Structure 1
Amino acid sequence: MRSRPLSAGVLAAAVAAALLGGCGSGDAWSEPHALPTPVGTLGPGFVDPTAPPSPEATVAPRPGSWDGVHPPEDYRVVLLTSGDDAPTATLVDAVRTWADAEDVDLRTLTAHRSDDLVPRITDALGMRPDLVISAGDALIDPLALVSANHLDQQFLVVGAELAEPTGNVTAADWAGASFRGEGLGASSTYDPATFTPARAAQALRAGVAAVLTGNTGIVLWLP
């Protein structure tokens, strides 16, 4: 079952309070950290290098064109998740499996209730990661508001997308997984059966490759 979204008024108030309150991190992640650079290069067909995609564009990269790109050593990622439905669990498992395989420094923040959504996003911002990965439809509306106020933080949404993403928000989804926020039409009919481990892993790796290579603010549409 999908999580019940916050009302517009409650969400706006929560965002304002969180942004005013701020968040800090006392561990090593708060120390200066070099800008991450990708290990490897994109293969042909990911994007057209002579005509880079415009902001908010939807692109269909050639399958496997992202396989040669990997995160650098000490890549710092926060996984934001909300919801106990099967699709969200599949996405979370894909992120954790990828992080183990790539030796990524992964930390997880979970929003258990609707009023946890904005605070968990704010906590993630305070940790200053290289990338925040979102898994769970309930996070879409809060992310749409918060991400636009933090353009220096990169976000990756897997299995959903923001209707009007800023240049720091990249999405990777597919037919059956294109939720865009409460009250907004999706580009395909929601189908939880399409959230397979293989597709989730593919979307995650494609999305991370896009972020690492500077192809951000777009929607990757995968087969």
Structure 2
Amino acid sequence: MRRVPVPLLLLAFVLTACGSPSSGWAEPRQMPAPVGSLRPGFVDPSAPPTPEGTITPAPGSWDDVHPPRAYRVVLLRKGTDAPTTALVTAVQAWASSFDVDLRTVVVGADPIPDITRALDMHADLIVSAGNDLIDPLTVVTASHLAQQFLVVGAELAEPTHNVTAVDWSGASFRGEGLGASSTYDETSFTSTRCDAAIRAGAAAVLTGLTGIVVWLR
């Protein structure tokens, strides 16, 4: 058996490491098809939501829709407050339940480079958790229309068609200096509410109902 010199083995290792993406998946791809269908009551098929419109789905009408295995999701998180932590926990549990390929980017003091790093990872969906991400996302999302975003527990004031949000009474922050449709209430970020938010929001994105606000009752 021919022996390969150690220096050549080391060189091969370096080239392989450099050639493989360390921060994300290899290539962007078409949005994978969802598993399952929305139940009646999620949206009125005779009156589909308008861009930037709000729907109020019936509770549980999203339960039959979930992502296919190895659905690629990047979780953007900023903050260690109780609401953000509750949202992150819910996203992680959802990902585990459906074999989602979840990767997390913890956003630092300067959010734009970290959001850009998430964009470079070619995710099927970028999920945002934390009010401090809303203003930076407003700057970035309109310039990356091919990338789907899901904001849980907050919303962008003027979202483009690639930004979907899930809100409820107590969680409707729209950015610094802007009014909201409800008073902010940290105690509204219960595990049950956060779990429903990621599931309902993901169901909306997977079924093509994007660029809207999903308001949970």
With the length of structure 1 as denominator, give the TM-score of the two structures.
0.86
Q: Distance in 2 between matches of 1:89 and 1:49?
A: 35
Structure 1 regions of 5+ residues with no counterpart? Answer: 1-24
Question: 2:12 corresponds to which residue?
Answer: none
For 1:1-223, list aligned pairs within 5 A: 26-27=21-22, 29-31=25-27, 33-113=29-109, 115=110, 117-223=111-217
1:44 partner letter: P
Q: Distance in 1 between matches of 2:30 and 2:208?
A: 16
**4+ runs of 1 displaced by more than 6 Å?**
none
Q: Distance in 2 between matches of 1:108 and 1:42?
A: 28
**Aligned partner of residue 40 in structure 1, secondary structure:** coil
**Aligned partner of residue 90 in structure 2, secondary structure:** helix
Q: Distance in 1 between matches of 2:167 and 2:106?
A: 21
Please provide the CA RMSD for this pair.
1.2
Structure 2 regions of 5+ residues with no counterpart? Answer: 1-19
**Aligned partner of residue 25 in structure 2, secondary structure:** helix
Q: Distance in 2 between matches of 1:97 and 1:185?
A: 31
With the length of structure 2 as denominator, give the TM-score of the two structures.
0.88
Bigger radius of gyration, 1 or 2? 2
1:122 partner letter: T
